[in-house]
Amino acid sequence: MKMLIDGRWVESSDGKWREIHNAANGDVIDKVPQATLQDAESALQAAQRGKEAMRRMPAHKRAEILNRSAAAMESEKEALSQLLARENGKPIRQTREELGASIRIFRGFAEEAKRILGRVVPMDAVPGQERHLAFTIRQPLGVVAAIVPFNYPVELWAHKVAPALAAGNAVISKPPSDCPLTMLKISELMEKAGLPRGAHQIITGPGASIGDFLAKSPGIQMVTVTGSTAVGIRICQLAAQHLKKVHMELGGNDALVVLADADLEKAAEAVVLGRLARGNGQICCAVKRVFVERPAFGRFAEILTIAAKGLKVGDQLAEDTDVGPLINEEAARQVESLINDAVRAGARVTAGGKRHGAFIDPTVMVDIPAQVELFREETFGPVVPLVPFDSVDEAVRMANDSPYGLQAAVFTQDISRAFDIAY
């Protein structure tokens, strides 16, 4: 496949390509250009023209384009879901859900395009200004750079590109290096939906060089990125050179607290869904650490261990697969290393713990030393560390002992206790 620059599908200026693989079996799915900085500069210049076309476009036309894009995605939903499963590794049932969510996002922001309103402010709070009014109108920022992660590439891209276009901006998208194909296919559909030339471009290539270029270029007015904390810090440092707006969703080490009075079956089901099965454990805002009140710890560990062992690991295109491969084998090796390091430090595996190529068996671990990296840092894979606690204060302290944020949860039958812990 080629990349989209200035309304044309092109190769890279130096002719270099990158193969895209199915991580489950290593098969080559397709290849994409490795954009150079010259290519990125061409996209940036085209975006300056594209932003003017979008700025002049009436809201109802922007809404029509987004709705036509959504309709085209819906008509191709199954083919897009199959492609996403192959390149990303998520089971096909989940990629269908991702496409469905993305279609809803496009349609939702098509409606929001018609509701970008200003304000009228009476000035009579100031003596002598009784007959004065102030008013505001909202203007597009200009060019938005959207840097997209591999774990939910289509949905997270939709969250970036649809609102930017709805508001009348031009967008340059940088897809994830390992799974750009579905985004490219959808971009073809968007072009046919009537976007002006240069209004949306998608450039494939090395994340570091292209991402740095977009973040520091004065022709970009906003950068939106979903990625690691290290990437976010780098983007902020570069964007600050021109005081451009940034919008980031970064890493998480999200805590789930299970009290002894909780419905343990439902709590375990939530952990299986949020940590082991969905996204193959590669979700930044999903549960990463589970704290269980000691009287319920043994039973909860038993329930979760049985559930983890019951998950089917395999071909992501099979309808009955629960857990597919990680994004690539190197990612799986990193998770395997974290598991092994924790075991050497004294942790015990009650389910899973093994790697098979790019696959990691759904893993449950107990006796976790607090200092191991698997517990203290974000682990991007289907691994659940279980830690007991004796008091709510202890659970809250351990949950908060992290520089990460994003998400947390409490399971209990007592809604008052849940709110007390949450606040």
Cα(17)–Cα(230) distance, integer angstroms? 27
Cα(198)–Cα(241) distance, integer angstroms? 25
Task: Give the strand order in the sheet containing 287-293.
Answer: 348-351, 363-366, 383-389, 287-293, 254-258, 408-411
Cα(46)–Cα(83) distance, integer angstroms? 29
Helix (H), strand (E) at residue 62: helix 59-75
Burial of 120 (0-12, 13-18, 19+ CB in 10 A): exposed
Is residue 76 annotated as part of the catalytic site, yes or no? no
Q: Of these residues, 98, 155, 191, 284, which one is catalytic?
A: 284
By the 8 A CB rule, do 5 and 203 touch? yes
Q: Of these residues, 52, 64, 249, 377, which one is catalytic?
A: 249
Is residue 249 annotated as part of the catalytic site, yes or no? yes
Residue 204 zone, left/alpha/beta (φ > 0; ψ -120 to 50; rest) = beta
By the 8 A CB rule, do 286 and 279 touch? yes
DSSP secondary structure code for residue 195 in this structure: P
Active site residues: 249, 284
